[in-house]
Every structure is written in C-alpha cells, then in structure tokens.
Amino acid sequence: MDPQLNLDLTGGEDLDQLWNRLLKALTRQIGRDAVQSWLEAVRMVELTADSFTLAVASGTAREWIQKRYCRLIETAAEAELGRRLEMRLVVRRPSRNESAEAAPLPAAPLRPQAVDPSFPTLPLHGDCLFDNFVVGDSNRVAAGAARAVAEAPARAFNPLFIYGGVGLGKTHLLHAIGNAVRQREPRVRLAYISGESFTTHFINSLRERRQDQFRRAHRTVDLWIVDDVQFIADKATTRQEFFHTFNDLFLANRQIIMAADRTPRELRLLEDRLRTRMESGLMVEVGAPDLETRISILRRKVELEGAAVPDEVIRQIACGITSSVRLLQGALIRVLALASLQHREIDAELTAHALEPYSGEGGIERLGQEAVLRAVCDFFQIEESDLTGPRRDRRTVVARQVAMHLVRELMGRSLVDIGQMFGGKSHSTVLYALGRLQQTMKEDGDLEQAVNTLLLRLKS
C-alpha cells in the first residue's frame, strides 16, 4: 500500500488530468468514436491505493463500460500509474439542468459484515431490490415467498429454495432479501455466498488448518443465503461440510435461503438427508417471463435509463428475446448502444439489426455454443476442428470432454444433441466421456478448478 498516492492526487484537477491521459491512451486503442460515445463524459472521482472510481452518466453507460472497457481502462491505468488498480463505476447524479428530478445514486454495495474477515462473504448488490423486481405470472410465487422471508426471517418459510433457469431473477431475489433485511436490521449477521465460494473457502480452510474459523464464519449467522448451490463441489468432504452447516443453522432456527438452476432432487450432490430437509421448506420456481412481463421489464429498464424508446421497439425486443431477463436487458442495451454509436434513431430497422445475433433458429444457442468451444480451445491450446475430429491424444480427449461437460452444464443440451455436435457420437459415448471427466477431475484438482473457472467465466 502506498498512502502517497492518495495525497498526491486528491484534488479534482489531478484526477481530471490523469483521466485525460488515460483517454489519450484509450483513443489510440479503441478509436475516437468509441471514446467520444462512451468515455468522454466520464469523470474520475476517486483514486485510492488499490482502486479508482469513475462517475458515469447512466446505468446503461455503466453496464456497457464495465462489459466492454473494464480491462482496457484498468490496463491503461496500470501503464500510467505502475500498479494494478481495480476500476469502480458509479452513476453520477444528473445536474439540475440535465434533469428536473435528480436520480438517486445507486446505494453503495452493502458489504455483509464478515464474521471472519478471512472468509469474506460476497457483497450484496445495492440495486437488486424488491422495488425494481417486475412481478409477473412466471415469478409471482417466488417473489411473494422472498418478500415473506424478508419480512419474517426464520418464521415464514424456512428453508426457502428458489430454482429456475439462467437469467430469470434468482440472484436478484436473493440480494433483494438480503438488502431488505439489512436495511431494517443493520446489525443482522448475514452471509451471502455461492456454491463456488463455499467450496473454495472450505478447501482453503482445510489446507490452512483453519476449519474452526471457517465453521464459525458460517455457523454463526442469522441469514445464510447460498446462491448457485449447483456449484458446490461434488466432493464428499465439501458436501458433508455443507450438510453440517445447513443442519446447524436449521436446528438453530436461522433463516436459510438457497438458489440453484435445478430442484434439490435434481441436484445429485445433495445428500438424501439434506434433500429431505430442503424439501420440507418451500421450493419455488422462477420461470421464463411471458410477453407482458417482458414488456414491463423493458419499460422499467428504459425508464431507469432515462431513454426514449418507442412502444413498437419495446414490443419488437420483447418478442425477439424470450428465454432470459438477462438477455432481454442485454438486447435493450445493445439497441441503445447502437443508436448512440451510429447517431441513429431507435426504430424497427436499427432494432432488427441489433437483435441479429439473437435471431435465427437457435441463434443465441449458437452464440453460446461458439463461446464455449472457443474458450475450451483457448484454454487447451488446440484447434476447434480437433474437438469434432478424430484425434485421440490425451490433451484433445480431455478438452473434448470438458467442452461436452460445459455445453451440458451451461446450455442443458441433451446427450444426443451433444453427440451430434461433437462429430456424430452416440449418446452412450457422450455419457461415458462425461463420466470419465468426473473421474479425472476427482483425481486432478487442477483440472477441476480449471473447469469450474471456465464454467463461471462463461456463465457471466
């Protein structure tokens, strides 16, 4: 840590100068147009020893910059300052003449107080609230249950288990519960974790012989919120620890809330005892939103962005994207971004163009599939054609198994489909390959970790 850095650069002037230098460097890399469209209106508002904060004009700009330019900006900052800094983005309050009503700044992420700082829980997103969760037939029961739990933890439904496909609002609801309880009772002991973070921390605690601390961190909370339970590693010790944690909290009448992409029954890794307990609480599904709900979600988002989008365009997007709220919002942002970059009006033609990658038979599927195959090939340093070809050397074989596993986990493809994808193999060959991979991962922790990392990266 270098406290000097703070002292040198506290004045707004210096931050402006620094940001201008970064803009110059970025212009060389991404061109004037992109910089003008997205980065020129940005201001640097804070610089600390390990991070810098940029204030941006809207939620759209924040998402876009985060997605597209985070790496580049961090790298430019590193080149300028000689150290790796984390970029943070806040939405700046519009000045009076920009908007009559000042939009509130998004709440700072609430960091659940860590019971033990060496096993930190994940931060709650301040902008995932019940108030901005659009309720429709597909999620009414889940949203109602989540609200009830937030209002009466450990009294309404315990445990609460939310399941459903990717991008349908499970994580949003978990954060909304955490935020609501925390707002009412700031001192509540709350842990928000994921199956992945539980696994990693537990394995670390074993290695570092700090199981006691790990246990204390998890078993002394009032609200235990576990996202993506499907990522709890399929290892006996981790599963057992998970079971005991669950059991302790359950018997102590603490509120337990979980989310996964499938039901407890389908989560093979849950022991029967745990599964039965889980099923004794309330299980609710979030489904894909119907057209009306999709339109409401888009309207809400447009309003939030302060953008003007014609009703026909909203309908056009809502009709084009049906399977996930995340994709739906991404599509809207794509439309807004395209209009802004090309200085064009938001009309049917522009929208059709923006939606192209999502369209066509299985368009989005294909996009996802390509991303998976590319990621695997990058990782194993092989050619994409080898994945479907006849090569049988160990590296190619493992890469192929990993690709099959990821396609199955991420896209829920059937064994038959996967066989087709990988050069016309039979479904039993695929099943065998997946089984082999599970076995290899059990023996090779590095491979297991690599696969989980790929999975997480692709998921996001």
Which residues of this protein are in contact with ligand ADP, per CB under 6 A? 128, 132-134, 139, 166-172, 297, 325-326, 329
**Where would I find the beta strands (DSSP E) of 102-199?**
160-163, 190-194
Instruction: Select the binding partner of residue 167 from Mg ion, ligand ADP, none (C-beta < 5 to 8 A, by kind).
Output: ligand ADP
Residue nearest to ligand ADP (CB): 169
Secondary structure element (H or E) that encloses residue 44, with its range: strand 43-47
| Least distance from ligand ADP to the Cβ atom of residue 432, Å | 30
Alpha helices by DSSP H, 356-393: 363-380, 384-388
Two tokens at 417?
């489909």
Query: How far apart are the C-alpha atoms of 260 and 14, rounded to whole Å?
Result: 46
Contacts with 91 (C-beta within 8 Å, 6 or more apart), sequence order = 55, 56, 57, 58, 59, 61, 62, 103, 105, 106
Instruction: Select the binding partner of residue 284 from ligand ADP, Mg ion, none (C-beta < 5 to 8 A, by kind).
Output: none
Taking the least distance from each CB to ligand ADP, the nearer of 133 and 214 is 133
Taking the least distance from each CB to ligand ADP, the nearer of 213 and 452 is 452
Q: How does DSSP classify residue 221? A: -
| Least distance from ligand ADP to the Cβ atom of residue 323, Å | 11
Instruction: Select the binding partner of residue 297 from Mg ion, ligand ADP, none (C-beta < 5 to 8 A, by kind).
Output: ligand ADP
Taking the least distance from each CB to ligand ADP, the nearer of 171 and 230 is 171
Alpha helices by DSSP H, 31-132: 32-34, 59-81
Query: How far apart are the C-alpha atoms of 22 and 70, rounded to whole Å?
Result: 13
| Least distance from ligand ADP to the Cβ atom of residue 293, Å | 7
Judge contact between 85 and 78, C-beta under 8 A: yes
Part of the chain binding Mg ion (CB under 5 A), chosen from 93-101, 142-150, 167-175, 296-304: 167-175
Instruction: Select the binding partner of residue 112 from ligand ADP, Mg ion, none (C-beta < 5 to 8 A, by kind).
Output: none
Residues 171-230 within binding reach of Mg ion (CB under 5 A): 171
Judge contact between 386 and 396, C-beta under 8 A: yes
Instruction: Select the binding partner of residue 59 from Mg ion, ligand ADP, none (C-beta < 5 to 8 A, by kind).
Output: none
| Least distance from ligand ADP to the Cβ atom of residue 456, Å | 13
Taking the least distance from each CB to Mg ion, the nearer of 170 and 218 is 170
Part of the chain binding Mg ion (CB under 5 A), chosen from 118-126, 169-177, 317-325, 425-433: 169-177
- Label the pairing between strands 51-56 and 43-47: antiparallel
Binding site for Mg ion (CB under 5 A): 170-171
